[in-house]
Structure 1
Amino acid sequence: MGRRPLNICMVSDFFYPNMGGVESHLYNNSQCLIQRGHKVVIVTHAYGKRRGVRYLAGGLKVYYLPAFVVYSNASLPTFFCTFPIFRQIFIREQIDIVHGHQAFSAFCQEAILHARSMGLKTVFTDHSLLGFADASGILLNKLLKFTLSDVHHAICVSHTSKENTVLRAALDPQQVSVVPNAIIAEQFEPDPDARDPQWITIVVLSRLVYRKGIDLLVAAVPRICQMYPRVRFVIGGDGPKRIDLEQMRERYMLQDRVELLGSVQAVDVRSVLVRGDIFLNTSLTEAFCIAIVEAASCGLLVVSTKVGGVPEVLPRHMITFAIPEEDEIVEALRHAIGRVGDRPNHPELSPKRFHAQVKKMYSWYDVAERTEKVYYQIADMPELPLIERFRRYYGCGLVAGKLFCLVAAVDFLIGVVLQWLWPRENIEVARPFPQETYHALVKENRRTANGELGAL
């Protein structure tokens, strides 16, 4: 690499075993950064019995901290209460850069605030788009403005997301980079034998929530089933809108043509996708949508609402767009069904060709390399004096600016008290993960397994 390895702490409320694009981004980007020689730890909240410290593949260390979850796996904001435990982790792991993910994550925003009070470098990645008119959007945008006023750099997953974040947080566009999501293409290879030739199968994999346009899906499914007797739907995912899908299936007696899988584990996503001919995404807002990339890699033709950063993701021959309205989605599905039926006469629609093209376009190694450049860009930046931090917070608004200055001052004073109660030099530094020993054991286990298979 030519420069010293960095110790990086990724922070978000959203991580495995929960499923989603943020979770996938955190895990895969971290694994590739580890392969590039950096140390990465992840901090998230506890998920059921998964709490404490866990090691995942490759030596990725995860802190599952106790927290009160309020909605959709987002923790309750506590402002200063998390400072002691975050400080212990940052010092124990000798963290250089704190990288927060997702504006909806209270852990992310609190970790960035505490890291700045400790003089650490910070990065924020935004994975979502938000509006400016509703009350929740206004409140969240104001909080995001507070967080990003003192962050060293921001990353967005699409150019549309960048424009949205720059407007919401009133940032200098030069302080924001675009680094897209990616997939491990080898894990999403087509399998023509998995499809049922008697049916044209439309696959949906999504959180079953309003933001994902499930109301549009509920309206479109019975209309398509009535038009095409050979079309069926396979729907994976869970959420509050699942009951609407179940009621729709009962009302139109589509039990044999609409399969509801419930929550789908990450390891099972490909096995669901390869069953389909068409992938449907009905999101009302989307910064990137990694699901459509996974589907295209598996050879599915994609139908998606034309929202957010989705038009930037795939070439036009792989995807059919619709505005987020019922009639438009039905029409886009009709067009896609016609293309699928005539696929043998169109070599550009070959699943293998889809997979090869997606493999060239998206790679986590490329994402990690671009993220690393951001880290090194900010690593040597001089630390701002406290008065300059206050000046930035004060510019957040006539009333909010004063409140934010007060919050930052209190957080800084808590840091001083914590240093007095638990001096940095008295906190034990965590031992580094034995990468060389780990990789030697992995190789030995693979060699042993291959030998046993050969004997069989």
Structure 2
Amino acid sequence: MLYNVCMVCDFFYPNMGGVESHLFLLAQRLIQSGHKVIIITHSYGNRKGVRYMTNGLKVYYVPTLVIYSEATLPTLYGCFPLFRNIFIRESIDIVHGHGAFSALCQEAILHGKTMGLKVCFTDHSLFGFADASSILTNKLLKFTLSDVDHVICVSHTSKENTVLRAALSPRNVSVIPNAVVASQFLPDPSAADPKWITIVVISRLVYRKGVDLLVAVIPRICAMHKNVRFIIGGDGPKRIDLEQMREKHLLQDRVELLGPVKHHQVRNILIQGNIFLNTSLTEAFCIAIVEAACAGLFVVSTKVGGVPEVLPNHMINYATPEEDDLIIAISKALHMTRFKKVDPSKFNDELKDMYSWSNVAERTEKIYDLICQTQVSPLIERFRRYYGCGLYAGKIFCMVMALDYLFWIFLEFMFPRDSIELATTFPYERYRQQMDQQRRSPSPRMSNGKQDFYGDGGGDGDGDIDKGVV
């Protein structure tokens, strides 16, 4: 069957990261399979309203308040009228939320369920159980997921974590890993500087990504190996620590800080290197190491979260998230690189079959088929599920859900469905024909060096067809 799917997340282009790429590329593949897909996210600067991206992907950039690291302020009921309008206008069948940190995602799942739509959730993160932030997030996630139709995790480690955090039945949780467009990360050995062994780091420069470890490791590696240099791409609050380290140890000629990197630039940076370094303290999957291996780099990574599930052992060296162990793992990788004990030229061929977005889309479609076969839960069953979330929290959750239901009845009375104009379906087939024609006869826009055709996810990371607000 074909479905009208609404994906909701705070994190999307032009912000860069694994979740953002996951939403975009999954949406592209689902559209190619014949489904209608739209995305709801918050506005980014001047990017507001409705935008059309590659292959007719429609994105609603809604005006909400961002409080921290692109996460929006939870409003509970504030966005319900807007969500309802979009769901009805686009004739949505399935609401697919992404990211436990996304307030828009949590609210869309609650409101979608109240409206009788099918809802599912994809978890991209790992959380602990002891600190205040994790306890609060886990309680809110338990509230949201207690009434969700199905949950998707990107690794088996992530599944175990989510099942424990949200007190879910493992039968209601599936594992569908991330993927990579291997053709966008073809190796090019001639791009690397033969005078140096280059270690590449591309990451958000935040605490969770282990930047403090990176700051400690770089001076020691540079002192031990005179022909090693670092290229670091990405931005974040920890960038100042890297700049101070570089100044303190006089490593300006051996540590290059590139700043923010768009997705279409990643491959050009990766092929300059020999080794990719990931120092994350927690990861549910880590798509960055897959992209690096596809580009022909040997990977050194901390052995955390779902990372051990991602790459075959001959492509990666593991280390515990400790300075000394990371130094040993990097030194072993440098030795292997010097004496050519690895053959990275074959990495791309191996990984393109292991991680395919077509496979991810097919498995996601099976989840959609599964949840659409289930019956809509009666109101009393929803109350029972929320009541079981805790002695005090359960009662609060029941009141929240009851108010949400009453608010929906009010909106249905004040703004009848008949008064909402249905959106015109994007002419996907005609667009594909035009893009096929442009590929056969490249226009100036298509020959700018960026892959911007529908078959490979396309775009420059911003991905707009029409840069204006529709």
Measured against the shorter chain, the TM-score band is over 0.9
1:168 maps to what in 2?
165
- Structure 1 consecutive aligned stretches of length 4 or more whose deviation exceeds 2 Å: 443-453
Tell me the SS of whatever aligns to 1:304: strand
1:370 paired to 2:367: no
Q: TM-score, normalised by structure 1?
A: 0.96
Q: What is the alpha-carbon distance in structure 1 between the residues aligned to residue 77 and residue 92 of structure 2?
A: 20
2:458 maps to what in 1?
none
Q: Which amino acid aligns with 1:60?
A: L
Q: Which amino acid aligns with 1:49?
A: N
1:297 paired to 2:294: yes
Tell me the SS of whatever aligns to 2:325: helix
Q: What is the alpha-carbon distance in structure 2 between the residues aligned to residue 327 and residue 264 of structure 1?
A: 29
1:232 paired to 2:196: no
The superposition leaves residues 152-174 of structure 1 with CA deviations (integer Å, 9 ceiling, x where unpaired) of: 00000000000000000000000
Q: What is the alpha-carbon distance in structure 1 between the residues aligned to residue 180 and residue 81 of structure 2?
A: 36
The superposition leaves residues 76-97 of structure 1 with CA deviations (integer Å, 9 ceiling, x where unpaired) of: 1110000000000000000000
Tell me the SS of whatever aligns to 1:382: coil
Deviation, 1:452, is 13
Q: What is the alpha-carbon distance in structure 1 between the residues aligned to residue 155 and residue 300 of structure 2?
A: 19
CA distance 1:308–1:70, shift in 2 (3 Å): same
Give unpaired runs (5+ residues) of structure 2.
Answer: 447-470
* Number of residue pairs matched by the alignment: 446
Deviation, 1:433, is 0.5
Q: 1:439 aligns with which of 432, 448, 456?
A: 432
Aligned pairs (5 A) from 1:290-329: 290-329=287-326
The superposition leaves residues 342-379 of structure 1 with CA deviations (integer Å, 9 ceiling, x where unpaired) of: 11xx3xx2222111111111000000000000000001
1:394 maps to what in 2?
387
Q: What is the alpha-carbon distance in structure 1 between the residues aligned to residue 203 and residue 118 of structure 2?
A: 34
1:12 paired to 2:9: yes
Q: What is the alpha-carbon distance in structure 2 between the residues aligned to residue 452 and residue 259 of structure 1?
A: 31
Q: What is the alpha-carbon distance in structure 1 between the residues aligned to residue 47 and residue 437 of structure 2?
A: 29
Which of 1 and 2 has higher RCO (CA within 8 Å, sep 6+)? 2
The superposition leaves residues 25-55 of structure 1 with CA deviations (integer Å, 9 ceiling, x where unpaired) of: 0000000000111000000000111110000
The superposition leaves residues 375-417 of structure 1 with CA deviations (integer Å, 9 ceiling, x where unpaired) of: 0000121111111101100100011101100111111111000
1:281 maps to what in 2?
278
Aligned pairs (5 A) from 1:90-169: 90-169=87-166
1:222 maps to what in 2?
219
Q: Which amino acid aligns with 1:419?
A: E
The superposition leaves residues 310-356 of structure 1 with CA deviations (integer Å, 9 ceiling, x where unpaired) of: 0000000100000000111111100110011111xx3xx22221111
1:32 paired to 2:21: no
Q: 1:207 aligns with which of 185, 204, 207?
A: 204
Deviation, 1:58, is 0.6
Deviation, 1:440, is 2.2
1:331 paired to 2:328: yes
Give unpaired runs (5+ residues) of structure 1.
Answer: none
1:70 paired to 2:67: yes
Deviation, 1:424, is 1.1
Deviation, 1:451, is 12
Tell me the SS of whatever aligns to 2:59: strand
Tell me the SS of whatever aligns to 1:449: coil
CA distance 1:451–1:105, shift in 2 (3 Å): closer
Tell me the SS of whatever aligns to 2:301: strand
Q: What is the alpha-carbon distance in structure 2 between the residues aligned to residue 333 and residue 401 of structure 1?
A: 49
2:353 maps to what in 1?
360
1:59 paired to 2:56: yes
Q: Which amino acid aligns with 1:417?
A: F
Q: What is the alpha-carbon distance in structure 1 between the residues aligned to residue 435 and residue 291 of structure 2?
A: 28
Deviation, 1:446, is 3.1
CA distance 1:226–1:392, shift in 2 (3 Å): same
Q: What is the alpha-carbon distance in structure 1 between the residues aligned to residue 443 and residue 129 of structure 2?
A: 57
Q: Which amino acid aligns with 2:363?
A: R
Deviation, 1:437, is 1.7
CA distance 1:444–1:170, shift in 2 (3 Å): same
Tell me the SS of whatever aligns to 1:55: strand
Q: What is the alpha-carbon distance in structure 2 between the residues aligned to residue 412 and residue 337 of structure 1?
A: 60
Q: Percent identity?
A: 66
Tell me the SS of whatever aligns to 2:442: helix
Deviation, 1:435, is 1.3
Deviation, 1:450, is 7.7
2:413 maps to what in 1?
420
Q: What is the alpha-carbon distance in structure 2 between the residues aligned to residue 287 and residue 6 of structure 1?
A: 28
1:88 maps to what in 2?
85
Q: What is the alpha-carbon distance in structure 2 between the residues aligned to residue 280 and residue 412 of structure 1?
A: 49
Deviation, 1:278, is 0.4
Deviation, 1:438, is 1.0
CA distance 1:121–1:72, shift in 2 (3 Å): same
Deviation, 1:443, is 2.7
2:467 maps to what in 1?
none
